[in-house]
Amino acid sequence: MISYLKHNVFEGAKARLRYLFEEFDELVICFSGGKDSTALLNVALIVAEEMDRLPMPVMFLDQEAEWQTVIDYTRITMTDPRVKPYWLQIPIRLFNATSAENTWLNCWDENEEWMREKEEISIKENVYGTNRFHAMFPAFLKYHYPNKKVAMLTGIRAEESPNRRAGLTNNATYKHITYGKIYDAKLEHYNFHPLYDWGWRDVWKAIHDHNWPYAKTYDYYYRYGIAPSKMRISNLHHETAVHQLYYLQEIEGDTWDKLTKRLGGINQARHFTRTEMFKCEKLPYMFKDWAEYRNYLLSKFIPEENQEPFRKRFANMDDWYKEMNKEKIHKVYQAQITTILMNDFEFTRLANFTSNNQSINYRKWKNGQVLPSNLTERDLEFIPKDKNI
Protein backbone atom coordinates (compact mmCIF):
# COMPACT_ATOMS: atom_id res chain seq x y z
CA MET A 1 0.00 0.00 0.00
CA ILE A 2 1.26 3.51 -0.84
CA SER A 3 0.99 6.13 1.91
CA TYR A 4 0.70 9.76 0.77
CA LEU A 5 2.27 12.45 2.94
CA LYS A 6 1.42 16.14 3.26
CA HIS A 7 4.67 17.33 1.67
CA ASN A 8 5.50 16.73 -1.99
CA VAL A 9 8.30 14.47 -3.26
CA PHE A 10 10.58 17.41 -4.02
CA GLU A 11 10.52 18.59 -0.41
CA GLY A 12 10.77 14.99 0.77
CA ALA A 13 13.97 14.45 -1.26
CA LYS A 14 15.52 17.64 0.14
CA ALA A 15 14.71 16.50 3.69
CA ARG A 16 16.36 13.11 3.06
CA LEU A 17 19.44 14.79 1.62
CA ARG A 18 19.74 17.13 4.60
CA TYR A 19 19.65 14.12 6.88
CA LEU A 20 22.29 12.26 4.83
CA PHE A 21 24.58 15.30 4.77
CA GLU A 22 24.34 15.40 8.57
CA GLU A 23 25.02 11.69 8.95
CA PHE A 24 27.90 11.22 6.48
CA ASP A 25 31.30 12.78 5.95
CA GLU A 26 30.76 12.80 2.20
CA LEU A 27 28.00 12.16 -0.32
CA VAL A 28 28.87 11.20 -3.91
CA ILE A 29 26.40 11.50 -6.80
CA CYS A 30 26.45 8.54 -9.19
CA PHE A 31 25.70 10.29 -12.47
CA SER A 32 24.64 8.60 -15.73
CA GLY A 33 23.42 11.52 -17.82
CA GLY A 34 19.85 10.25 -17.54
CA LYS A 35 16.82 12.17 -16.30
CA ASP A 36 16.80 10.55 -12.84
CA SER A 37 20.43 11.31 -12.03
CA THR A 38 19.87 14.80 -13.47
CA ALA A 39 17.08 15.44 -10.96
CA LEU A 40 19.07 13.90 -8.12
CA LEU A 41 22.16 15.95 -8.89
CA ASN A 42 20.31 19.24 -8.99
CA VAL A 43 18.31 18.65 -5.83
CA ALA A 44 21.55 17.62 -4.09
CA LEU A 45 23.28 20.78 -5.30
CA ILE A 46 20.49 22.90 -3.81
CA VAL A 47 20.86 21.20 -0.43
CA ALA A 48 24.67 21.13 -0.58
CA GLU A 49 24.75 24.89 -1.15
CA GLU A 50 22.26 25.42 1.66
CA MET A 51 24.45 23.37 4.05
CA ASP A 52 27.80 24.71 2.81
CA ARG A 53 28.87 21.32 1.40
CA LEU A 54 29.96 22.37 -2.08
CA PRO A 55 31.60 21.29 -4.31
CA MET A 56 29.56 18.10 -4.72
CA PRO A 57 31.53 14.96 -5.78
CA VAL A 58 30.01 13.54 -8.96
CA MET A 59 31.11 10.22 -10.43
CA PHE A 60 30.38 9.31 -14.08
CA LEU A 61 31.45 5.83 -15.23
CA ASP A 62 31.85 6.41 -18.98
CA GLN A 63 30.94 3.23 -20.88
CA GLU A 64 32.35 4.54 -24.19
CA ALA A 65 29.33 3.41 -26.24
CA GLU A 66 27.25 6.40 -25.15
CA TRP A 67 24.95 8.86 -26.89
CA GLN A 68 26.94 11.91 -27.98
CA THR A 69 24.18 14.10 -26.56
CA VAL A 70 24.77 12.43 -23.17
CA ILE A 71 28.50 13.18 -23.41
CA ASP A 72 27.76 16.80 -24.37
CA TYR A 73 25.52 17.16 -21.32
CA THR A 74 28.06 15.41 -19.08
CA ARG A 75 30.67 18.01 -20.07
CA ILE A 76 28.30 20.73 -18.89
CA THR A 77 27.83 18.91 -15.60
CA MET A 78 31.47 18.13 -14.95
CA THR A 79 32.60 21.72 -15.60
CA ASP A 80 30.04 23.20 -13.23
CA PRO A 81 32.02 24.98 -10.47
CA ARG A 82 29.68 23.44 -7.87
CA VAL A 83 30.83 19.96 -8.93
CA LYS A 84 33.95 17.99 -7.99
CA PRO A 85 34.27 15.80 -11.12
CA TYR A 86 35.18 12.11 -11.19
CA TRP A 87 34.83 11.23 -14.88
CA LEU A 88 36.02 7.63 -15.18
CA GLN A 89 37.25 6.61 -18.65
CA ILE A 90 38.96 3.42 -17.57
CA PRO A 91 39.18 -0.13 -18.97
CA ILE A 92 36.07 -2.12 -18.01
CA ARG A 93 34.16 -5.01 -19.61
CA LEU A 94 30.48 -4.84 -20.52
CA PHE A 95 28.18 -7.53 -21.90
CA ASN A 96 27.07 -6.97 -25.48
CA ALA A 97 23.36 -7.79 -25.85
CA THR A 98 23.45 -7.65 -29.66
CA SER A 99 25.87 -10.50 -30.38
CA ALA A 100 26.73 -13.95 -29.03
CA GLU A 101 30.03 -13.97 -30.94
CA ASN A 102 31.25 -10.55 -29.79
CA THR A 103 30.25 -11.10 -26.17
CA TRP A 104 32.09 -8.18 -24.61
CA LEU A 105 32.82 -4.54 -25.19
CA ASN A 106 36.24 -3.85 -23.68
CA CYS A 107 35.67 -0.20 -22.95
CA TRP A 108 38.71 2.07 -23.30
CA ASP A 109 41.00 -0.88 -24.01
CA GLU A 110 44.42 0.49 -25.01
CA ASN A 111 44.67 -2.09 -27.79
CA GLU A 112 41.41 -1.06 -29.48
CA GLU A 113 40.21 2.00 -31.40
CA TRP A 114 37.85 3.98 -29.20
CA MET A 115 34.65 5.63 -30.33
CA ARG A 116 35.96 9.01 -29.18
CA GLU A 117 38.97 10.51 -27.44
CA LYS A 118 39.18 10.70 -23.68
CA GLU A 119 38.41 13.91 -21.82
CA GLU A 120 41.26 16.01 -20.45
CA ILE A 121 39.75 16.00 -16.95
CA SER A 122 38.98 12.29 -16.80
CA ILE A 123 40.52 9.53 -14.67
CA LYS A 124 42.15 7.21 -17.19
CA GLU A 125 43.81 4.44 -15.17
CA ASN A 126 41.79 1.65 -13.56
CA VAL A 127 43.11 1.61 -10.00
CA TYR A 128 39.97 0.07 -8.49
CA GLY A 129 40.73 -3.66 -8.57
CA THR A 130 37.76 -4.62 -10.77
CA ASN A 131 36.76 -4.28 -14.41
CA ARG A 132 33.04 -4.99 -13.94
CA PHE A 133 30.34 -2.33 -13.93
CA HIS A 134 28.40 -3.01 -10.72
CA ALA A 135 31.49 -3.81 -8.66
CA MET A 136 33.05 -0.51 -9.66
CA PHE A 137 30.89 1.68 -7.41
CA PRO A 138 31.81 0.22 -3.99
CA ALA A 139 35.39 -0.13 -5.25
CA PHE A 140 35.39 3.58 -6.14
CA LEU A 141 34.35 4.56 -2.62
CA LYS A 142 36.87 2.21 -1.05
CA TYR A 143 39.72 3.72 -3.10
CA HIS A 144 38.87 7.41 -2.77
CA TYR A 145 37.32 7.40 0.72
CA PRO A 146 39.00 4.61 2.73
CA ASN A 147 38.79 6.51 6.01
CA LYS A 148 35.51 8.37 5.65
CA LYS A 149 31.89 7.55 6.33
CA VAL A 150 30.50 8.02 2.85
CA ALA A 151 27.42 7.27 0.75
CA MET A 152 26.92 7.06 -2.99
CA LEU A 153 23.59 8.44 -4.19
CA THR A 154 21.74 7.23 -7.28
CA GLY A 155 18.47 8.13 -9.00
CA ILE A 156 16.87 4.68 -8.76
CA ARG A 157 13.09 4.89 -8.34
CA ALA A 158 10.61 2.32 -6.98
CA GLU A 159 8.14 3.05 -9.79
CA GLU A 160 10.32 1.24 -12.31
CA SER A 161 9.64 -2.34 -11.11
CA PRO A 162 7.90 -4.36 -8.37
CA ASN A 163 11.27 -5.73 -7.27
CA ARG A 164 12.61 -2.24 -6.74
CA ARG A 165 9.49 -1.14 -4.88
CA ALA A 166 9.79 -4.09 -2.48
CA GLY A 167 13.52 -3.67 -2.04
CA LEU A 168 13.31 0.07 -1.37
CA THR A 169 10.49 0.00 1.16
CA ASN A 170 10.73 -3.17 3.27
CA ASN A 171 14.02 -3.48 5.15
CA ALA A 172 16.09 -0.87 6.96
CA THR A 173 19.61 -0.38 5.57
CA TYR A 174 20.87 2.44 7.77
CA LYS A 175 19.01 3.37 10.96
CA HIS A 176 15.43 4.01 9.74
CA ILE A 177 16.38 4.25 6.02
CA THR A 178 15.05 1.54 3.69
CA TYR A 179 15.91 3.20 0.37
CA GLY A 180 19.44 1.86 -0.01
CA LYS A 181 21.92 -0.89 0.65
CA ILE A 182 25.19 -1.49 2.46
CA TYR A 183 28.38 -1.47 0.38
CA ASP A 184 30.79 -2.08 3.26
CA ALA A 185 29.56 -2.01 6.87
CA LYS A 186 33.07 -1.94 8.33
CA LEU A 187 34.08 1.09 6.24
CA GLU A 188 30.61 2.64 6.69
CA HIS A 189 30.08 2.87 2.95
CA TYR A 190 26.47 2.91 1.74
CA ASN A 191 24.34 3.40 -1.36
CA PHE A 192 21.11 5.43 -1.12
CA HIS A 193 18.30 6.42 -3.51
CA PRO A 194 16.74 9.67 -2.22
CA LEU A 195 14.29 9.91 -5.15
CA TYR A 196 12.93 6.40 -4.64
CA ASP A 197 9.31 7.59 -4.32
CA TRP A 198 9.36 9.90 -7.34
CA GLY A 199 7.40 9.13 -10.50
CA TRP A 200 8.70 9.99 -13.95
CA ARG A 201 6.29 12.93 -14.05
CA ASP A 202 7.87 14.28 -10.87
CA VAL A 203 11.29 14.05 -12.49
CA TRP A 204 10.31 16.00 -15.57
CA LYS A 205 8.31 18.57 -13.58
CA ALA A 206 11.38 19.29 -11.45
CA ILE A 207 13.63 19.57 -14.52
CA HIS A 208 11.33 21.97 -16.36
CA ASP A 209 10.21 23.99 -13.34
CA HIS A 210 13.84 24.79 -12.51
CA ASN A 211 15.10 24.96 -16.10
CA TRP A 212 17.84 22.44 -15.36
CA PRO A 213 19.94 21.28 -18.35
CA TYR A 214 19.44 17.68 -19.45
CA ALA A 215 20.51 15.29 -22.21
CA LYS A 216 18.78 16.27 -25.45
CA THR A 217 18.39 12.60 -26.34
CA TYR A 218 15.08 12.80 -24.50
CA ASP A 219 13.80 15.48 -26.88
CA TYR A 220 14.53 13.18 -29.82
CA TYR A 221 12.78 10.28 -28.06
CA TYR A 222 9.73 12.50 -27.51
CA ARG A 223 9.59 13.45 -31.18
CA TYR A 224 9.61 9.76 -32.09
CA GLY A 225 6.63 9.15 -29.80
CA ILE A 226 8.47 6.89 -27.38
CA ALA A 227 6.63 6.43 -24.09
CA PRO A 228 8.42 8.18 -21.19
CA SER A 229 8.72 4.87 -19.31
CA LYS A 230 10.62 3.38 -22.29
CA MET A 231 13.18 6.18 -22.66
CA ARG A 232 16.61 4.75 -21.80
CA ILE A 233 20.04 6.40 -21.76
CA SER A 234 22.07 3.29 -20.85
CA ASN A 235 25.07 2.28 -22.92
CA LEU A 236 23.92 1.63 -26.45
CA HIS A 237 24.22 -2.17 -26.35
CA HIS A 238 22.71 -2.80 -22.89
CA GLU A 239 20.00 -5.48 -22.71
CA THR A 240 17.41 -3.03 -21.31
CA ALA A 241 18.17 -0.26 -23.80
CA VAL A 242 19.07 -2.03 -27.02
CA HIS A 243 15.90 -0.84 -28.78
CA GLN A 244 17.37 2.66 -28.84
CA LEU A 245 19.64 1.41 -31.64
CA TYR A 246 16.73 1.80 -34.04
CA TYR A 247 16.71 5.53 -33.35
CA LEU A 248 20.45 6.03 -33.00
CA GLN A 249 21.12 5.47 -36.69
CA GLU A 250 18.67 8.26 -37.56
CA ILE A 251 19.39 10.69 -34.71
CA GLU A 252 23.18 10.37 -34.40
CA GLY A 253 24.46 8.90 -37.64
CA ASP A 254 28.10 9.55 -36.76
CA THR A 255 27.73 7.75 -33.41
CA TRP A 256 26.01 4.85 -35.21
CA ASP A 257 28.89 4.54 -37.69
CA LYS A 258 31.47 4.53 -34.91
CA LEU A 259 29.52 1.99 -32.88
CA THR A 260 29.07 -0.48 -35.74
CA LYS A 261 32.80 -0.27 -36.36
CA ARG A 262 33.58 -0.69 -32.67
CA LEU A 263 31.26 -3.57 -31.72
CA GLY A 264 29.99 -6.65 -33.53
CA GLY A 265 26.25 -7.33 -33.71
CA ILE A 266 25.14 -3.70 -33.78
CA ASN A 267 24.53 -3.49 -37.51
CA GLN A 268 21.89 -6.25 -37.41
CA ALA A 269 19.46 -3.63 -36.06
CA ARG A 270 19.45 -2.05 -39.52
CA HIS A 271 17.94 -5.24 -40.98
CA PHE A 272 15.07 -5.69 -38.51
CA THR A 273 11.92 -3.80 -37.72
CA ARG A 274 11.61 -2.18 -34.31
CA THR A 275 9.50 -5.08 -32.97
CA GLU A 276 10.99 -8.23 -34.46
CA MET A 277 14.62 -8.24 -33.37
CA PHE A 278 13.92 -10.08 -30.13
CA LYS A 279 10.42 -11.29 -30.94
CA CYS A 280 9.44 -14.89 -30.13
CA GLU A 281 5.66 -14.89 -29.95
CA LYS A 282 5.07 -17.83 -32.28
CA LEU A 283 6.67 -21.27 -32.02
CA PRO A 284 8.46 -22.12 -35.29
CA TYR A 285 6.78 -25.09 -36.97
CA MET A 286 9.89 -27.27 -36.99
CA PHE A 287 10.01 -27.53 -33.19
CA LYS A 288 7.67 -29.78 -31.19
CA ASP A 289 7.46 -27.42 -28.19
CA TRP A 290 8.92 -24.27 -26.67
CA ALA A 291 11.45 -26.15 -24.53
CA GLU A 292 13.00 -27.72 -27.63
CA TYR A 293 13.13 -24.32 -29.34
CA ARG A 294 14.81 -22.74 -26.31
CA ASN A 295 17.40 -25.51 -26.07
CA TYR A 296 18.17 -25.22 -29.77
CA LEU A 297 18.72 -21.47 -29.54
CA LEU A 298 20.92 -21.90 -26.47
CA SER A 299 23.12 -24.41 -28.29
CA LYS A 300 23.42 -22.17 -31.38
CA PHE A 301 23.46 -18.61 -30.04
CA ILE A 302 25.50 -18.84 -26.84
CA PRO A 303 29.15 -19.99 -27.02
CA GLU A 304 29.55 -23.43 -25.48
CA GLU A 305 31.84 -22.18 -22.71
CA ASN A 306 29.12 -19.74 -21.57
CA GLN A 307 26.10 -22.06 -21.69
CA GLU A 308 26.22 -23.65 -18.22
CA PRO A 309 24.85 -20.64 -16.24
CA PHE A 310 21.92 -20.46 -18.66
CA ARG A 311 21.23 -24.20 -18.31
CA LYS A 312 21.24 -24.02 -14.51
CA ARG A 313 18.96 -20.99 -14.39
CA PHE A 314 16.53 -22.50 -16.91
CA ALA A 315 16.46 -25.85 -15.05
CA ASN A 316 15.57 -24.07 -11.80
CA MET A 317 12.80 -22.15 -13.53
CA ASP A 318 11.47 -25.27 -15.26
CA ASP A 319 11.19 -27.00 -11.90
CA TRP A 320 9.62 -24.03 -10.16
CA TYR A 321 7.02 -23.33 -12.85
CA LYS A 322 6.17 -26.94 -13.71
CA GLU A 323 2.72 -26.61 -12.07
CA MET A 324 1.94 -23.42 -13.95
CA ASN A 325 -1.22 -23.03 -16.01
CA LYS A 326 -0.40 -25.04 -19.14
CA GLU A 327 -2.05 -22.42 -21.34
CA LYS A 328 0.52 -19.87 -20.13
CA ILE A 329 3.67 -21.98 -19.69
CA HIS A 330 4.97 -20.68 -23.02
CA LYS A 331 5.56 -17.30 -21.34
CA VAL A 332 8.33 -18.85 -19.22
CA TYR A 333 10.09 -20.15 -22.33
CA GLN A 334 9.59 -16.87 -24.18
CA ALA A 335 11.30 -15.00 -21.33
CA GLN A 336 14.17 -17.50 -21.46
CA ILE A 337 14.44 -17.23 -25.24
CA THR A 338 14.57 -13.43 -25.08
CA THR A 339 17.39 -13.80 -22.54
CA ILE A 340 19.30 -15.94 -25.05
CA LEU A 341 18.65 -13.64 -28.01
CA MET A 342 19.78 -10.62 -26.01
CA ASN A 343 22.90 -12.37 -24.76
CA ASP A 344 21.74 -11.41 -21.27
CA PHE A 345 24.37 -13.06 -19.08
CA GLU A 346 23.15 -11.18 -16.01
CA PHE A 347 19.56 -12.44 -16.47
CA THR A 348 17.97 -9.01 -16.30
CA ARG A 349 15.10 -10.08 -18.53
CA LEU A 350 14.37 -13.11 -16.36
CA ALA A 351 14.35 -10.88 -13.29
CA ASN A 352 11.73 -8.72 -15.01
CA PHE A 353 9.63 -11.83 -15.69
CA THR A 354 9.84 -13.18 -12.14
CA SER A 355 8.94 -9.77 -10.68
CA ASN A 356 5.69 -9.32 -12.60
CA ASN A 357 2.38 -9.68 -10.75
CA GLN A 358 1.52 -13.02 -12.32
CA SER A 359 4.82 -14.60 -11.25
CA ILE A 360 4.61 -13.17 -7.75
CA ASN A 361 1.07 -14.49 -7.27
CA TYR A 362 2.06 -17.89 -8.65
CA ARG A 363 4.90 -18.15 -6.14
CA LYS A 364 2.58 -17.16 -3.31
CA TRP A 365 0.08 -19.79 -4.41
CA LYS A 366 2.76 -22.45 -4.67
CA ASN A 367 3.99 -21.58 -1.17
CA GLY A 368 0.49 -22.08 0.19
CA GLN A 369 -0.34 -18.44 0.80
CA VAL A 370 -3.95 -17.30 0.61
CA LEU A 371 -4.32 -14.73 -2.15
CA PRO A 372 -6.58 -11.66 -1.90
CA SER A 373 -10.08 -12.18 -3.29
CA ASN A 374 -9.99 -8.99 -5.36
CA LEU A 375 -7.23 -10.10 -7.74
CA THR A 376 -8.11 -9.98 -11.43
CA GLU A 377 -8.08 -12.93 -13.78
CA ARG A 378 -4.90 -11.56 -15.33
CA ASP A 379 -3.22 -11.41 -11.92
CA LEU A 380 -3.93 -15.13 -11.52
CA GLU A 381 -3.25 -16.31 -15.06
CA PHE A 382 -0.15 -18.36 -14.13
CA ILE A 383 -2.07 -20.42 -11.55
CA PRO A 384 -3.71 -23.65 -12.84
CA LYS A 385 -7.39 -23.00 -13.38
CA ASP A 386 -8.42 -26.30 -11.79
CA LYS A 387 -6.73 -25.41 -8.49
CA ASN A 388 -8.65 -23.97 -5.59
CA ILE A 389 -7.08 -20.72 -4.38
Residues of the chain with CATH 3.40.50.620: 9-201
Compute the distance between CA of residue 323 and CA of residue 270 in angstroms, rounded to an integer. Answer: 40
- Tell me the one-letter amino acid at 264: G
Which residue type sits at 389? I
Q: Torsion angle, CA of 32/38/40/46, rounded to 10 degrees?
A: 130
Query: Does pLDDT of 49 surpass 90?
Result: yes
Query: Higher pLDDT residue, 365 or 6?
Result: 365
Question: Rounded to a whole number, what is the distance in angstroms from the first to the last CA of the chain?
Answer: 22
pTM of the model: 0.77
Task: State pLDDT tens for residues 202-260.
Answer: 999 999 999 999 999 999 999 989 888 778 887 776 655 566 777 888 889 999 899 88
Q: How are strands ordered across the β-sheet holding 180-184?
A: 83-88, 56-61, 26-30, 150-153, 189-192, 180-184
CATH class of 9-201: alpha beta
pLDDT at res. 241: 58
The b-or-e profile of 194-225 (16+ CB within 10 A means b, else e) is: bbbbbbbebbbbbbeeeeeebbebbebbeeee
- List the single range of 104-108, 130-134, 242-246, 367-371 with lowest mean pLDDT: 242-246
pLDDT at residue 279 greater than cutoff 80:
no
At 10 the pLDDT is 97
Residue 163 in contact with residue 351, Cβ under 8 Å? yes
